[in-house]
Amino acid sequence: MAEDTDALRAMSRLLSPHCRVTRLSDGVLIADWKRTRFLAMTTADLRGFADAGSPRRGELVTGLVRAGCVPARGKEYADAEVGLWLRGVHLLIRVIGFGRVLRLVSLAAPEYARADPAPAEVVARLKTAVQSYGRGSWFVDDDCKAEAVTAFVLLRRQGLKAVLHVGVREHPFALHAWTSAAGLCVPDADPRGHVFAPVLSIGGGGQ
């Protein structure tokens, strides 16, 4: 059934890289190769993964987190920590350049991220902190590149799905960077109403 296929795909995206899921006639078998053990789930449980917002999916994900098959979300960062990251990223961009930072960003932002949607309230709090420090610091001075990279790294380090974009505007020519997650953008994707066409996106596939 299409519903079962979608649910199986959703569950597979959540599992840690060391876990593999196999479809059985009456459910699924999860092979945890890190701990050399196997976990079974019924078809009814599998279908609980089809609806990303359902309470049943939340219960199943919690169970898999406790079993070690799904990574727990990382801790949220305090405002002071966000400020330190922002200043550090800004300094790094000034020293080695934005292009090199983009090539190195995967070292600080884990490749694997949980595929369930990032909570909008978490992203909103991070956006407020990033922009507050970015605009209130003479050192950072509202730098979209530093804000976007900081948001991307901190969200990914929490295990949340995020995509870092670099966009361009033709007339007059300008570049802009932002990170999107949970329907929000850090900083805004269209500052002062100017629309930027994305020319580079990092983290958009396989999350």
Q: What is the distance of C-alpha 97 from the center of its chain? A: 24
**Least confident range of 19-23, 43-47, 57-61:** 57-61
Residue at a domain's end among 13, 40, 67: 67
Can you give the residue range of the structural domain that contains 63? 2-67
Whether 173 is covered by a domain: the verdict is yes
Whether 140 is covered by a domain: the verdict is yes
Whether 72 is covered by a domain: the verdict is no
97 and 63 within one domain: no
pLDDT tens for residues 109-147?
876 555 556 788 999 999 999 988 888 777 777 789 999
**Is the separation of the CB atoms in 161 and 118 below 8 Å?**
yes
pLDDT top residue among 53 and 64: 64
Considering the chain, what is the average pLDDT of its residues?
A: 85
pTM for the model: 0.68
85 and 22 within one domain: no
Nearest CA among 192, 195, 198, 193 for reference residue 179: 198
Q: Give the chain's domain count.
A: 2
102 and 55 within one domain: no
Q: Which two tokens stand for residue 113?
A: 């991220």
Whether 132 is covered by a domain: the verdict is yes
Q: Tell me, what's the pLDDT at 116?
A: 58
- Tell me, letter by letter, the H, E, C secondary structure of the chain: CHHHHHHHHHHHHHCCCCEEEEEECCEEEEEECCCCEEEEEEHHHHHCCCCCCCHHHHHHHHHHHHHCCCCCCCCCCCHHHHHHHHHHHHHHHHHHCHHHHHHHHHHHCCCCCCCCCCCHHHHHHHHHHHHHHHHHCCCCCCCHHHHHHHHHHHHHHCCCCCEEEEEEECCCCEEEEEEEECCEEECCCCHHHCCCEEEEEECCCCC
Whether 74 is covered by a domain: the verdict is no
Residue at a domain's end among 36, 67, 98: 67
126 and 51 within one domain: no
103 and 34 within one domain: no
| 84 pLDDT higher than 70 | yes
173 and 145 within one domain: yes
Residue at a domain's end among 45, 67, 89: 67
Contacting residues for 20 by C-beta, under 8 A, at least 6 apart: 30, 31, 33
